[in-house]
Amino acid sequence: MDQKKQPEITHAEYASKKGEIALRPHEFDGIQEYDQTLPNWWLFIFHASVIAFVGGWFLYYNVGLTKTDAENVDAQLERIASAKAKALEDMLSTLNDETLVNQWATDTTVVDAGRQIYQANCIACHGENLTASIDVGGGQKVNLPGLSLKDAEWKYGAKPMDIFRIINEGTPADSPGHNGAKMQAWGQTLPPLQVAQITAFLIHENEAEFR
């Protein structure tokens, strides 16, 4: 039976031709290293990858045929801002003082949703009981950064839509705020529906004032 011919092992620094196996002269801890030429298919893939990388790099950074990551992020943020503006426009087209008081604030589902949103986002400044204070016991209270929402005083307008706008847009830029603290524009993080639900909750909690 014919046996497959074993490749010849030469003593050289590197293999120089296909099928050659070179035993490299350096040695470490009694171990020597073999070297063989790489197959053509592997070399083709390697060189093609290098060329593709260089070409992609040139097109991406120098020619401008594709958008950079920063440009893609800016475009996505612009789309989000446009979607928010459209949602706000749609909400404002159906929202007014009357509907907030007589429809939204009388709907228990809407009010409960507004209460949950308030508890998740607003109690740190306005308190769980809307008085902008915390009862620490012994008849003592600690004031919070926000304004009370239960004292029938509305610093930036007492109408329901005024309340909606102050929640949505935050403290006006020309206002010093309350003791230097300004409320953020929640419309930047909450959709108009949730802003309206918070407004309905506040109207419900101040029902006697608005009816």
Mean pLDDT of 21-46: 83
pLDDT of 159 > 90? The answer is yes
pLDDT of 167 > 90? The answer is yes
Q: Do 115 and 170 sit in the same domain of this protein?
A: yes
Tell me what pLDDT residue 7 has.
63
CATH number, domain of 171, equals 1.10.760.10
Q: Which of 13-22, 45-54, 168-177, 185-194 has the lowest mean pLDDT?
A: 13-22
Q: Is residue 128 part of a domain?
A: yes
Q: Do 98 and 133 sit in the same domain of this protein?
A: yes
Q: Is residue 163 part of a domain?
A: yes
Q: Do 96 and 16 sit in the same domain of this protein?
A: no
Q: Is residue 4 part of a domain?
A: no
Q: Is residue 27 part of a domain?
A: yes
Q: Is residue 110 part of a domain?
A: yes
Residue 178 β-bridge partners: 181
Q: pTM higher than 0.75 for the full model?
A: no
Q: Do 187 and 96 sit in the same domain of this protein?
A: yes
Q: Is residue 72 part of a domain?
A: no
* Overall domain count for the chain: 2
Q: Which of 1-5, 46-50, 60-64, 68-72 has the lowest mean pLDDT?
A: 1-5
Q: Do 100 and 192 sit in the same domain of this protein?
A: yes
* Residue 92 structural domain: 84-210
Q: Is residue 73 part of a domain?
A: no
Q: Mean pLDDT over all residues of the chain?
A: 87
Q: Do 91 and 171 sit in the same domain of this protein?
A: yes
Q: Do 96 and 155 sit in the same domain of this protein?
A: yes
Q: Is residue 1 part of a domain?
A: no
Q: Do 88 and 37 sit in the same domain of this protein?
A: no
Nearest CA to 169 among 190, 147, 193? 190
Residues 73-94: tens digit of each pLDDT = 999 989 988 888 888 888 888 8
